[in-house]
Structure 1
Amino acid sequence: MAGIGLVISLVLIATFGVGVGVGRLVTPVDRAAVPATASPAAAAGPATPAGPTDFSLIQEAWDTLHKEYVRKDTLEDKALIYGAINGMTEAVGDTGHTDFLTPQERAARNAALSGSYVGIGVRIDTTDGGLPRIVSVFRDSPASRAGVKPDDLLVDVDGKSAQDKTLDEVAGWVRGEAGTTVSITLRAGVDGPERSLSIVRADVPLEPVSWALVPGTTTALVRLDQFSSGAADELVKALNAAREMGAQRVVLDLRGNPGGYVNEAVGVASQFLDKGLVYIERNAQGGEERHEVSAGGVATDLPLVVLVDVNTASSSEIVSGALQDAKRAKIVGETTFGTGTVLSEFSLTDGSALRVGTVEWLTPDGRRIWKEGIAPDEPVKLAEGVLPVVPDDVRGMTPAEVSGIKDAQLTRALELVATETAADGS
């Protein structure tokens, strides 16, 4: 998963970072009772291929490992079972979506979508050099107060090297109880000096929306980090505040946004659309359900440009596709990830869960996005090593500094939105 430039919070799990379109939760009691002797093939219903499934092969592999593995005394049965389930979900081919969550991963994911979590308050991405890179630092977080900076590299956690480790593994090291301390070593960029910090973990509120009026313009840069619970309401607050400050145009930044709750995507898109569809669901039987715009959007009259990249996924693609199909906004950046299914979560008996893409979503015009993504109207790539400019960066700039930013995607978005006629005719 690191190959797609995964971005996660330091308590989140990789599956959330890749892209989540969470639609519904299904618990064991919601499913029809299945006899204990029945195979998964029998439980799955008519969609399962005809003919018996031979599970003896799995048993054979299990027995061979327990008999022949040189360190068989170290084998953990639960880990083997979880590994087998992971293998099944990967074989489905719904990359970055249909997946399996351990109880711990599920708790972390639910905490992230609820709008807060226990951690230090940073987001990390992978680097070519094999060390996690700090992408952003949450305002008023333990990390912010300790002096952690964007573009710092995370060298080790409590003495354990982060070199070539997965983001999941590093996030697991950083997780812990509120009030406990984690020691980290950071490097300032690729070649900078290293420093060690001890940071007390705390409950960190996630702020899904941030914004700033771009100096020297009447354009509000509005960034949406994820579609967590309440994201649409937070966007409304940001848009209203921006208008009060004189904003007449909007650049909506969805770069790196992994998705979240689908109902929040409908709410977000509805702030810019006054009618029409947001997306279409299509189930395995070919039936369709159309999800319409909710009335009362607060920015339907403001010129709009949307920023996306390869890590824009799931609910972010729903919003981008809806705005593009309605010709409401130009899309600038790179083709998005291509997550085209809405997840149902099936709770398993030990607290783990399967998240299954039970329906495919299409844009209002019927475009299939799975594995294709949303192609931008204006393709623009960032130069290697250049980080996206976010509202916190813009807030402290002068107009001259804005004109010199290296974020080519944002620069192009600002150019395009400035050519659109604002509601007051300017």
Structure 2
Amino acid sequence: MERKGYWKGFAGGTVFLAALFMIITLSGSAPKATGSNLNLYPVFGKMEKIQALIDEHFYFEEDAENEEYYIYQGMIGGLGDQYSYYMDANEYAAYQRKMNGNYCGMGATVTQDPDTLETSVVSVEPNGPAEKAGVQEGDVFLEMDGNDVTQMELGDLIETYGIGPEGSVLSLKVWRPSENHEYDFEIVREPIVTQTVFHQMLEEQTGYIQVTSFQTETAEQFKQAVDDLLGQGAEQIVYDLRGNLGGSLNSAVDMLDYLLPDGLLVYTADKNGVKQSVYEGKDGHEVNLPAVILVDENSASAAEVFSSAMRDYERALLVGTKTFGKGIVQETFPVGDGSVVRLTTTAYFTKNGYPIQGHGLEPDITVEMDPLRDPDAPLSPEEDAQLQAAMEMLSQNG
């Protein structure tokens, strides 16, 4: 569900906690503050007062569900950690689909105006269900399966109508502003697999693999790309992790396991320095070719784990600019009704014990991109200064 108006929601949503406060008052028990933990007694008391003010003075109608949502968001937001947050059931379902990279839907990316709740199509997947049916960029949703969706919040719309069993049919009515005309479509839902790995052969027997993010499907896509390039005669590889903000650590470890000899890849430790998880390669498979990894300031998290492990095993050098420096791990904990909180619980360290968090990785060769170029403009291999530097490094060390 799309949300807006943080402070309105946080203040107005006190019905739930005010009631909880009354229960605590009557029962004489409440969570006790220990150490630096939050003392809930004054919190509940103040929220009860705020709710009374809202009941008496607030002009607009309250949205209790929205307000309750922002109470939870506010509590996690108060931790000051941008990587810890609360997700309701719809948001968590969308998060799981993103990480899995595989679901059945209509193959369209949509956006919603937060004020009017108008939902429109941003793009359609090439040869996907929506495109096959005739849906175009800019189309505005009016009805789905005969029901008005013009005031339906985006999360509910996607969960109710956007996702469904393979082969199921979605009846869709849209308004096309460019033609000032309404259209009806029948969309047959299909598996939508997010492609996160792209590869090709470059000159001089050099394979090139770009990984845009680490999702559940990424590891298998990556292995197929490596095998395909080897089959085409690749004798050296450039791995491009620029702009890769990370994702699934398990996926990155699986990919490293495929490339590196068996042994320690990365480990995590909690705030007391106690090791929590140790990730090791153990499949007996490796690909020992000269390699360079392209990185930049937006290479983060799992991308940094992948890069550091390859360099620790002396299987790759890094070219580009210093990486982001996100070396902390989040875990997801259910809190009822399908909602979850995602909390930072540990930090990870490279095979050699280097802490990535707050430090990042310095490249072996620093190469800046032209600051005046349009970052969204297509860039050929010949125009890519960082890729050309990687090719030069491989030719010198080959």
Q: Could you state the TM-score of these two structures normalised by the residue count of structure 2?
A: 0.70
User: What CA deviation, in whole Å up to 9, does each residue of 1:272-329 have, x standing for no partner?
Assistant: 3225432221112220246243134655311122233444332222212222344432
2:87: which partner in 1?
101
Residues 345, 355 of structure 1: 8 Å contact kept = yes
1:29: which partner in 2?
none
1:57 maps to which of 41, 46, 55: 46
List runs of 5+ in structure 2 lacking aligned partners: 4-23, 112-119, 143-152
Residues 262, 283 of structure 2: 8 Å contact kept = no
Q: Does 1:111 align with 2:97?
A: yes
Residues 120, 199 of structure 1: 8 Å contact kept = no
Alpha-carbon distance between aligned partners in 2 of 1:337 and 1:141, rounded to the nearest angstrom: 34
Q: Does 1:355 align with 2:342?
A: yes
Q: Secondary structure at the match of 1:293?
A: strand
Residues 387, 407 of structure 1: 8 Å contact kept = no
**Alpha-carbon shift at residue 155 of structure 1 (Å):** 5.8
> Which residue identity is paired with 2:87?
L
1:330: which partner in 2?
317
**Alpha-carbon shift at residue 217 of structure 1 (Å):** 3.2
**Alpha-carbon shift at residue 246 of structure 1 (Å):** 0.9
1:288: which partner in 2?
275
**Alpha-carbon shift at residue 259 of structure 1 (Å):** 2.9
Residues 266, 349 of structure 2: 8 Å contact kept = yes
Alpha-carbon distance between aligned partners in 2 of 1:60 and 1:379, rounded to the nearest angstrom: 58
Relative contact order, higher structure (CA 8 A, sep 6+): 1
Q: Does 1:79 align with 2:78?
A: no
Q: Secondary structure at the match of 1:380?
A: coil
Alpha-carbon distance between aligned partners in 2 of 1:65 and 1:122, rounded to the nearest angstrom: 41
Higher Cα Rg, which structure: 2
User: What CA deviation, in whole Å up to 9, does each residue of 1:360-388 have, x standing for no partner?
Assistant: 11223333333443343334336323457
Classify 1:87/1:208 alpha carbon distance in 2 versus 1 (closer, same or farther; 3 Å).
same
1:385: which partner in 2?
375
Residues 102, 353 of structure 1: 8 Å contact kept = yes
**Alpha-carbon shift at residue 66 of structure 1 (Å):** 3.9
User: What CA deviation, in whole Å up to 9, does each residue of 1:29-73 have, x standing for no partner?
Assistant: xxxxxx99765555xxx67548665222333334433433221x2
Q: Could you state the TM-score of these two structures normalised by the residue count of structure 1?
A: 0.66
* Matched pairs, number: 347
> Which residue identity is paired with 1:239?
V
1:158: which partner in 2?
141
Alpha-carbon distance between aligned partners in 2 of 1:407 and 1:123, rounded to the nearest angstrom: 29
Q: Secondary structure at the match of 2:81?
A: coil
**Alpha-carbon shift at residue 344 of structure 1 (Å):** 1.6
Residues 12, 109 of structure 1: 8 Å contact kept = no
Q: Secondary structure at the match of 2:259?
A: coil
> Which residue identity is paired with 2:230?
R
Residues 282, 289 of structure 1: 8 Å contact kept = yes
Q: Secondary structure at the match of 2:42?
A: coil
Q: Secondary structure at the match of 2:59?
A: coil
Residues 227, 265 of structure 1: 8 Å contact kept = yes
1:306: which partner in 2?
293
2:57 maps to which of 27, 51, 68: 68
2:204 maps to which of 217, 223, 235: 217
List runs of 5+ in structure 1 lacking aligned partners: 1-10, 14-34, 126-131, 160-168, 188-195, 390-400, 422-426
Residues 199, 210 of structure 2: 8 Å contact kept = no
Residues 121, 143 of structure 1: 8 Å contact kept = yes
Q: Secondary structure at the match of 1:348?
A: strand
